[in-house]
Copies of this chain bind each other. A is one copy, B any other.
């Protein structure tokens, strides 16, 4: 279904209860990034492994990128993944403008990707988070990190941070579409302005295997009956699953592969 450019997968988030062997086949994803689609302005993916983070960005189109080639073949074992394909709206096509962006706070890495276009968003950045590139998205991320830092003395609980984000997100969203994914490795927060869908998936994954021209995710081998995986995307990836569409202005959080709020 989502095989036209308008519903192109721009944001993808995954949150699992066990480090899950996933493979991004990139069969369609890589093709679309620059060849059959207009989303040719860079892409990126970040995945947590414990407290550590692997972060891959590329301003080359995904279909010709050696890094995409790596990801395609790489056996990712992660509980938390955020991926993004960029269509430049603000900020030139450059490596420093590729999502997801990463910052450290309270001894954790924080990862952020955004789909949308913020107009006249020039917040006062008075703390230690400054954009390196020139996108509205990185500016929004820096402001979010600053306000999170001001609101808490240390890493807050997932529930507390969810409340904080529900106060902060609308302040940015009034500047334009602000669909975003945020993770600190412990949880995945997703905010919708316009287009965002999620599904929760359980063992066995065979039936429900994601299959799309844009992106396929193969839940490989060693899954157990306890395995839970939540997937959040700009547009549904399958036709045979119950994807739930976010409401405009809705913010949800996923922990251990399950919607937690």
Q: Which residues of A contact B (CB under 8 A)?
A: 49-55, 57, 59, 66-67, 69-70, 73-75, 94-98, 102-109, 127-133, 149
Contact = CB atoms under 8 A, between A and B. Distances in A.
B128 A149 contact: yes
16 contacts: A49-B95, A52-B98, A52-B133, A53-B96, A54-B57, A55-B55, A66-B74, A67-B74, A70-B70, A104-B129, A105-B128, A105-B130, A106-B130, A107-B130, A107-B131, A128-B128
A52 B132 contact: yes
Nearest to A66: B74
A172 to B, nearest CB: 19
A105 B104 CA distance: 11
A51 B94 contact: yes
Most chain B C-beta atoms within 10 Å of own C-beta, residue among A59, A75, A107, A149: A107
Contact of A130 (B96, B97, B104, B132): B104
Contact of A50 (B95, B104, B131): B95
A146 to B, nearest CB: 10
Nearest to A105: B128
A104 B107 contact: no
A66 B59 contact: no
Given A54-B95, A103-B104, A128-B149, 17 more contacts: A50-B94, A50-B95, A51-B96, A52-B59, A52-B96, A52-B97, A52-B98, A66-B74, A67-B74, A69-B70, A102-B102, A104-B132, A105-B130, A107-B130, A108-B132, A109-B132, A128-B128
